[in-house]
Structure 1
Amino acid sequence: MWKKLQGKYPASSDTSSQIISEEVLTFFSGGPRQTEQNVAGFAAFVAGMACLVGIDFSAKLLASLAKSFEDAYMKEDSISLRNLTLLLSYLCIFGVCSSDLIYDFLIMLSKRLMEMDVSTILTILQCCGMKLRGDDPASMKDFISSVQNRVNELKFPSGSTTPGQPKINNKRMEFMLETIIDIKNNKRRVKEDPVPHTRIKKWLQKLRVEDILLRGLKWSKLLDPHKKGQWWLSGDVVSETDNIKEVASTIDREVLEAQKLLQIAAAQRMNTDTRRAIFCIIMSGEDYMDAYEKLLGLGLPGKQDREIMRVLVDCCLQEKVFNKYYTALASKLCSLDKNHKFTLQYCLWDHFKELDSMELHRSMNLARFVAEMLASFTLSLAVLKTVELSDPKQLSAKRVMHFRMLFEAVLELSDALVWNIFTRIAGIPELESLRNGLGFFIKQYVVNDNKVFSAKFKVARKALENVAGVLM
């Protein structure tokens, strides 16, 4: 397509960008049912064009896509709806738009939840559901709540206790709900990128696709006929700056908050500029994605980025009550760069050495942190290979208490998660002593004290013998 249009229109002109957008969307709106591979190729083309031409290209295309979707919805054109939905999903996968736009779109669909909405939701979840969950688990919970509320409204209309007969395929509805719950419970395995997708992502990284990521967009904004100027940027910022006093007050508050954070950082022995900067970003992040993006923005040279994980874990341990924010941020960082994972392992090993002198709330937070990292499969039980779990002489009261809290948190998970967590270290020769230690410790100090965990321990013990590595 690019070669076809390149001779007719200059690459940098608005006209060229508009023509290309129209050609792409016409192909998906009026064409036959597209394969995912074909859709992925077009999404990569759009992402590459945005990197070369500018973020306005992808923003305007998304607005046209939203309009095309609504037109197809009114016509009940299921093929066009599926094609456009797949294109939107792959634009998210390849970094053109962030997951918050997809979540906003899903919430909108869930409030209607007609036959075509269910089909569209399924298309999105099957294409990028696990990515959405990984990007923002909290928004996934909000979406699930919205779907469940709407399903209940359809089943029991107007507060009636008698089930109604919604005009929708019940089997398809049930399949959608099962898919959502599987994603929520991490039962669906993340699809490995096929070779072409991996190459596309590497190519886009070279083009610095992260610079054209559209954040904060709403589906309603894409459909707004009165959009003006650079509407894809945060319009709220412009309106807020109209009030000079409010802006000045905001700046004053931010300065005071920064000063307080620096004081806390000093109290927490953040004794270098790098550690203080990391600390302030982690503690002031609006959410884990906000902190993640700001930490990447630091651009720490050499080995200084190793400080990120050490500061993060220390912040987690300082909390009076365990906060999953830190595990979400740690998992996201580990998924970005394996060096963060290595640093985290060494950091945890250092803390394991200090258990005998560690305060109770820090020990509890550390146990919960490790359990959450195991449950998300960011770390495996191999992280405990430096710990002696089978020698009672080396197991002080504090160490027993710590690892008992850790394994109780793990055994409280579903059977499938327990099986998969313990299976990850099955059949590895160099981890035989660890497997023996785990079996001894859990039986002696967890199951004997609390018979509730007996059934889960049987699952764990079988998983440790699961040499084939078959996952649930």
Structure 2
Amino acid sequence: MYEKLQELLKLKSGGVYVPPAKLKALMAEVELEQDSEEYQKLQWETLKKKINSIINRVNKGNIKIMVIELFKLNLFRGRGALCKSLISSQQLSTAYTDVYSSLVSVLNSKIPEVGNLLIRRLIVRYKRLLKREDKYGCRAVLTFLSDLVIFHVCCLDLVMEIVLQLLEEPSDFKVELVLEILNICGVEMYDNESTWFDQVKNTLRNILSEDLVDSRSQLLIQSFFDTFNKKLKEGQALDEDLDLVDEDDYVVHKFSLKDRVQGDDQLDVFQYDKDYKQHNEKYNLLRKEILGSDVESEPEEKTGDNSDFSSDNEEDEEGDDDEETEDSKRLTVQIKDLTEQELTNYQKNVYLTVMSSMSPEEATHKLLRLPSIDPSRKEYMLVDMIVKCCAQEKVYSKYYGIIGECLVVMGKAWSGAFQQLFKENYENCYKFETALLRNIGAFWGHMLASDKLGWECLSAVKLTEKDTTSSGRIFLKFVFLKLLEESGINHLVERIEEAYIEPFVIGIFPKTDAENLRFSINFFTAIGLGKLTERMRVSLENLPVEAEAIADGDDDSDSSRGRSRSRSSSYSSYSSSRSRSYSRSRSASPKDEEKENRGRGREERSRSRSPADRERSFSRSRPTSPDRRPQRGQSTIPRGPRSHRGRGYNSRGSGYRGNRGRGFGSYNNNRGSRGYSSHSGYGNGRGRDY
């Protein structure tokens, strides 16, 4: 057993990768108690490896996830290894200094011992490197300290004291270090200590004028003066992705170069702890305060990093957990939470699970294992949270669409939840901004294009001018554009024309109502999907002729007035044109329309079109009633002009006739054409059209 233990310790502390199967086999052969030194040493080696792994993987994009992973570890016990890993990583890659400083600011707001130890070690390291005149080492340390000042972890007085110390005996090496500090936190110094900052600038001007440094350092000083005013106007603004701590949670550590600080290097190595269990329990309580219910979603962490090596007490712990869950259920029956804190924790669990997963399949597996606060609405609440997470992204990510595909095929309950949520999103789309509508519409377009979600949900959409809003049309636009991107125009046309899908999209692609047809055609043509409207254009052309008889409501009129209106509509593939013709006739007989128009040697023949020659037309006429037909010898000329009487449109054009006199007509300049001559106030010219 002793040999197996030594082999295990050698593997864990030697930095060699051990396959999980081999490690599990060795642990099965070695039985250790939690109070034993060997067991704690194995835990220490595992803790160091996890900390180094997280620090090496942290970047601007995943810093939030890495912070949560670090809090799950016992940082109070491993703060020495954490600070050592941070300093070494920052020295190798100074470009990530702001990322490391942001990470430290979050950890320091909850565990101030981490920030305190890091600053003390940086001070000790700076003094040691300054004596050696290690230029690059000092620059890395001062860059880290300056960024910690920006992120409100270190006090500004320490950096100001360092600047004054370097300027006491200026040299090329020290002037470059001063300029490095001023470039990072010079604006912060100017805002808080403007008088002191002016003195430093005067000192640099004296160094520049007296030639105390070489030409390279002089050029650096001059460039600092040139760029500082621009930085002062822009202000000292933190990156939004790295500014993760509220002002109320800042914990600023005050140090001075005169203080005798120590780096506590003994924290970097293993130390046997007699009260190991008690310290673990204390940190577990602190971790629950920081992460809330997120600790419950990680069953490995319940024993405080002991799960990798302890298997004896798992059954007992599971029994305790079952008892706790039963007690919690009893409490939830008695207590009703009106603050919706439970819902907030559930949504936070879903978001963190989605963001921390490496693949959509892994995220789906974890989401299905999350405990539900309302079993009757489990599917709907999870789907709703997935859509909300997708909407908050800057650009739509297919990651959420694949998660939706995995969930919708789980059963009818999940499919019904997606159907219900789509209808609610469409009805409440006026509550979302355009950026959110873009992501939500793209999500539902992806679900429809994948054929995992049924097209029955589109039955709730009716694309008419009365039934839609601007937000609803924007939502539909993004849905169909995503369908076009995923499926292609030809496949999309085939899907819409399928006999099974056609009843569900009849509200979007109507067939009967001419007004709804035109509105739908215009909508899809405007968003660049005119090919989807070809069947609707054919349906619009083949609609039957509608005629209505409209009686004249003026009983005092002595003459009859006939009005006919014809509309000719012809649609090409993606364009439409209308022509209207309004005419007034003296008689209801069509023979009068065949008379020749005389004038200026030009003849025009106006014939009434036969049904075989004309295109589709829609006409409304007010025929003369039998009671009002003029008797023999009675004048058929109307009494006088009305407003807009005689306005005419024909297939050649429409507008105001350029002839003299009153009246509207077609573009016809013939004075002798068919029409009423000046009579009873109908014009002042000769034979003008009316």
TM-score by length of 1: 0.40
Report which of the two has the higher share of strand.
2
TM-score by length of 2: 0.28
Q: Which protein, 1 or 2, shows the higher relative CO under an 8 Å CA cutoff with sep ≥ 6?
A: 1
Report which of the two has the higher share of helix.
1
Q: For the pair shown, which has the larger CA radius of gyration, 1 or 2?
A: 2
